Amino acid sequence: MKGHVWRPLFVVIGLVAAILVFRMFYVPADFGVHDQGYTFGFHRLGNEQEWKQFPEKYKGTEYCNECHDDKVESISKSGHGIIPCEDCHGAAFNHPEDPEKLTVDRSRALCLRCHSELYMPSSQRNDLPGINPKTHNEGMECSECHNPHNPSLEEM
């Protein structure tokens, strides 16, 4: 082969070798999939304890149920029963101490994530009641007419 073929080949081989040498020094020895396989992806065994001590941001509906059992019970009977409270009310990170009252996302955009009329023949997405956002009360928030804890009931 001529020199115009060998030079780029040597450059590519040199780059690959440089990347492998860099990786050998940069990536910690305990990084990988280890005995758990690919289920949990790549992680470092050395910092598992550090992550266990990290405070959890999302607490789950069970945590909300400790103080708001009436709300959790009513929403569990509605169409929104499968949606975690924190999807609309935000993360319960340090609640109730800070903030005392969680901010509620009442935006139309939040509702339209699920309730915008779409046609998806191969999913259960068609089972959700959908609206055309351009013709259904454009400019209004959904919570002005609908109770998010029981969306089938009109508030007006």
In a domain, 69, yes or no: yes
Show the domain range for 23: 3-32+45-52
Give the Å distances, CA to CA, from 80 to 77, 97, 149, 155.
Answer: 8, 27, 7, 16
Peptide bond into 99 cis (omega under 30): yes
94 shares its domain with 131: yes
26 shares its domain with 69: no
Can you give the C-alpha Rg of the chain in angstroms? Answer: 26
In a domain, 142, yes or no: yes
Classify residue 116 as left (phi > 0), alpha (psi -120 to 50) or beta.
beta
| pLDDT confidence band for 37 (50 / 70 / 90) | low
76 shares its domain with 149: yes
In a domain, 118, yes or no: yes
12 shares its domain with 72: no
Residue 128 has pLDDT above 90, yes or no: no
Least confident of 2-11, 55-64, 81-90: 2-11
Say what the pTM is.
Answer: 0.61
In a domain, 27, yes or no: yes
pLDDT of residue 154: 56
In a domain, 109, yes or no: yes
CA pair distance 115, 120, nearest whole angstrom:
13
| pLDDT confidence band for 67 (50 / 70 / 90) | very high
81 shares its domain with 28: no
pLDDT of residue 130: 86
| pLDDT confidence band for 156 (50 / 70 / 90) | very low
70 shares its domain with 17: no
65 shares its domain with 27: no
Mean pLDDT confidence for 72-78: 87
In a domain, 39, yes or no: no
When the pLDDT of each residue in the chain is averaged and rounded to a whole number, the result is 85
Pairing of the two strands 31-32 and 150-154: unpaired
SS (H, E, C) 15-72: HHHHHHHHHHHHCCCCEECHHHCCCCCCEEHHHHHHHHCCCCCCCCHHHHHCCCHHHH
Mean pLDDT confidence for 83-103: 88
Q: Two tokens at 45? A: 């065994």
Domain count, the chain: 2
In a domain, 40, yes or no: no
| Of the candidates 77, 132, 67, 127, the residue with the CA atom closest to the CA atom of residue 102 | 67
98 shares its domain with 22: no
Mean pLDDT confidence for 51-65: 90
Give the Å distances, CA to CA, from 112 to 83, 129, 136.
Answer: 14, 11, 11
In a domain, 90, yes or no: yes
CA pair distance 115, 121, nearest whole angstrom:
16
